[in-house]
Amino acid sequence: MHGLPKIELHCHLDGSLRVATVLDIARKEGIELPTYHLTELKHALIAPEECTSLADYLQCFALPNAVMQSKESLKRITFELFEDAAKENVKYLEVRFGPQLHTMKGLTLEEVIQSVIDGLKLAEARYEIKGNIILSCLRSMSVESAFEVVESGKSFLGKGVVAIDLCAIEEDGFCTRFVEPIALAREYGYHVTIHAGETGSSQNVLDAVDMLGAERIGHGVFIKDDPIVYQRVKEQQIVLEMCPTSNVQTKAVLNYQEHPFYLFHQDGIKVTMNTDNRTVSHTTMTNEWEIMEQLFTVDKQMYQMIYETSVQAAFATQAIKEWCLSQYPPTIH
Ligand SMILES: [Zn+2]
């Protein structure tokens, strides 16, 4: 699995920091950490294998955000994420983050976004990897703050920023609140992907598509229990960004065996494989695929089909998509 080319469309920057980097930045910037011992810090950054809920899982993001408050650290953390991805043959990576989480020490939203783009460009220059950025609006924040994110990223569209996202705690019917900011985002030219059907409500998936114009859905696990929504997702070929380990941790599914990734694919639903959070979920793309491979029959045809689905669903230019497709079938190293 490690050697195969990969595409990742759902990865949160603040969930994917190297533990040593958290320690290093905290020391340099005088940031207080609960522990300065690498192994202990690792435990504080990785969510337990089974959290009690998504809320529990989200607790693990407070600590990383403390060291993501300067231009240098944002650039470094982004670069390192792309570096880690490139080393396991990820060819294209879309990274998402909430700009407002990184303004605690005075950075403007624009400076936050520019710093992340700087890290991305540096990695693209050094490694055989391409990428883009998705701006996340937190549903726990106000609708006004979603408008701010949309406005702050406008001038970066086509220069690294490609899409808008809604994430964090998922309540039934959340889409209604965000119709206007997401409509404005679409008008500006953002693509739209929405976290939905991650913690219970399958109706949220349809709402995200119908009310917000979502082109892709983050997770969508819960469509499995709703035949009507399931059928729509299947018929409309709505692409799901699935993240098995994260779903096991947040109790969206009981265990990997119960995860619908494989069954969805077998039944013609468009699925893609993602890590969600490399550090908080203590995983990689290679690991996610190896877990699936151990439990189900993952053959070359399935892998290639999902690779191609991921490329087609990427918010990338046609030229980048063609380059990604040219990476498959892989050359033997
Ligand atoms: Zn996510």
Residues flagged as binding site for Zn(2+):
10, 12, 195, 276
Active site residues: 198
Any domain includes 1: no
Distance 166 CA to ligand 1 centre (A): 9
Any domain includes 332: no
Any domain includes 181: yes
Distance 247 CA to ligand 1 centre (A): 10
Residues flagged as binding site:
10, 12, 14, 195, 276
pLDDT at position 228, please?
A: 96
With tokens 């059907």, the residue in question is 197
Q: What is the distance between the alpha carbons of residues 170 and 184, in angstroms, rounded to a whole number?
A: 22
Work out the angle at residue 98's Cα, subtended by the Cα atoms of residues 114 and 133, and round it to the nearest 5 degrees: 50
Distance 10 CA to ligand 1 centre (A): 6
Contacts of 256 (CB under 8 A, 6+ apart): 244, 245, 248, 291, 292, 295
pLDDT at position 55, please?
A: 78
pLDDT at position 332, please?
A: 54
Domain count, the chain: 1
Any domain includes 333: no
Average pLDDT by stretches of 10, the chain with 333 residues? 96 97 95 91 84 77 92 98 98 98 97 98 98 97 97 98 95 96 98 94 96 98 96 97 95 94 98 97 97 95 97 98 92 56
pLDDT at position 62, please?
A: 84
CATH of residue 58's domain is: 3.20.20.140
Instruction: Encode pLDDT of 63-78 as tens digits.
Output: 899 999 999 999 999 9
Any domain includes 308: yes
Backbone angles phi, psi at 61, to 5 degrees: -95, -10
Any domain includes 331: no
Q: Half-sphere exposure (CA, 13 Å, Cβ side) for 71?
A: 9
Instruction: Encode pLDDT of 164-177 as tens digits.
Output: 999 998 999 999 99
Any domain includes 302: yes
Any domain includes 132: yes
Of 102, 170, 179, 88, the residue nearest 133 (C-alpha): 102
pLDDT at position 61, please?
A: 85
Structural domain for 307, as ranges = 6-326
CA distances from 82 to 87, 131, 241, 320, 325 (A): 9, 8, 19, 16, 19
